[in-house]
Amino acid sequence: MNEFELIYDVIAPTSCLRDDVLLGIGDDGAVLAPPSGQSLVVVADTLVAGRHFPPDFAPADIGYRAAAVNLSDIAAMGATPLWATLALTLPASDVDWVRGFAGGLADALRPASTALVGGDTTRGPLTVTVQIIGSLPAGSALTRAGARPGDLVYVSGSPGDAAAGLAAWPPPPAPSAALAQLFARFTRPTPRLALGVALRGLASSCVDVSDGLLADAGHLAARSGCALELDATRLPLSAALRETCAPSTALQHALTGGDDYELCFTLPPAALPRLGALAGPGMPPLTCIGRVVDGAGVRALGPDGRVLHFARPGFDHFNGANQQEQSGPMME
Ligand code: ADP
Ligand code: MG
């Protein structure tokens, strides 16, 4: 298959349709109708083979991940996704690979009603860049900058699962139910889109957990100009994680492991009564794991109230020393 057959016959048909796509794949550019009165939110993330996913990752899981990590950024902003572009660099024109990849991409984009409206296809080492454009009412974006001392710190879902899945990679032929669940959390993370939208006007700051809870909570602290104090005993560790890992390893995965794509947000105490309304179908469980205090940085306190220390709080793409550590995530 040539480049254009791959694009038009394999990739394009997997896209969902939206009325606001006035001109989609097939021309020099896409023409899109932005929702009136809304601000646009634009995110992009690149996945490089062997760096952001294991070399033996299934094509469908690569496609899914490329979309999901971007949808997670959209969720963290409180936006609704609308349109996506895909820049795909492939070592060879492998139709089966692209078919699997495009199916996985659609598995993530379709439930989010996000249309693939364009992209680029080139030959080279396997690299995938997805860009997503979303929207929200002007002035309602969730940012990293609004946390204030006295706010409570929350996390969605059960952090640490994805890192435990990666640590056990590759999956054995017959993994236990618990291990299978951890692998699924690693290969098919759920972007918390409904939660992000529901947190508009409620959360004082928000970030998605891609690099590790301590590292990403650190972004909230830095951008908000205050400190976050996390209580490690309150971390909502999943039964699968506790069943699979020793307590100290489970804690390390939950605090420093990446790839969870949960939301970590801060909530002013006055907003607390409205939090209960967020429970329901499609919503992950929410757990208060700490508080915002004066100062700088993030600390996690253990059962004895003492500060826990880890060799690395999370993944840093440009910190070579950190990358030598073994048990943390390979992803950023
Ligand atoms: P141009 O040469 O003008 O940049 P291309 O020939 O690269 O256009 O692309 C043709 C059409 O196919 C464009 O609409 C482009 O957005 C779309 N396209 C190319 N690659 C991809 C891809 N990997 N996924 C989705 N759309 C793509
Ligand atoms: Mg052109």
Query: Residue 304 pLDDT > 80, yes or no?
Result: yes
What angle, rounded to 10 degrees, do the helices at 59-76 and 177-187 form?
Answer: 70
Q: Are 260 and 161 in contact (CB under 8 A)?
A: yes
Task: Give just the sign of the alpha carbon dihedral 303, 309, 310, 313.
Answer: positive
| 88 CB near ligand 1 (under 6 Å) | yes
3-state secondary structure 264-286: EEEECHHHHHHCHHHCCCCCCCE
The pLDDT score that the predictor gives to residue 188 is 98
Picking from 150, 116, 112, 159, the residue whose alpha carbon sits closest to that of residue 12 is: 116
Local confidence band at 45 (pLDDT 50, 70, 90 cut-offs): very high
pLDDT digits (tens, 9 = 90+) for 168-219: 999 999 999 999 999 999 999 999 999 999 999 999 999 999 999 999 999 9
> Ligand 1 pocket check: which of 5, 114, 121, 132 to mutate, most ligand atoms within 8 Å of Cβ?
121
Q: What is the CA(212)–ligand 1 centre distance, in A?
A: 35
Higher pLDDT, 240 or 322: 240
Q: What is the CA(63)–ligand 1 centre distance, in A?
A: 17
| 116 CB near ligand 1 (under 6 Å) | yes
Q: What is the CA(86)–ligand 2 centre distance, in A?
A: 15
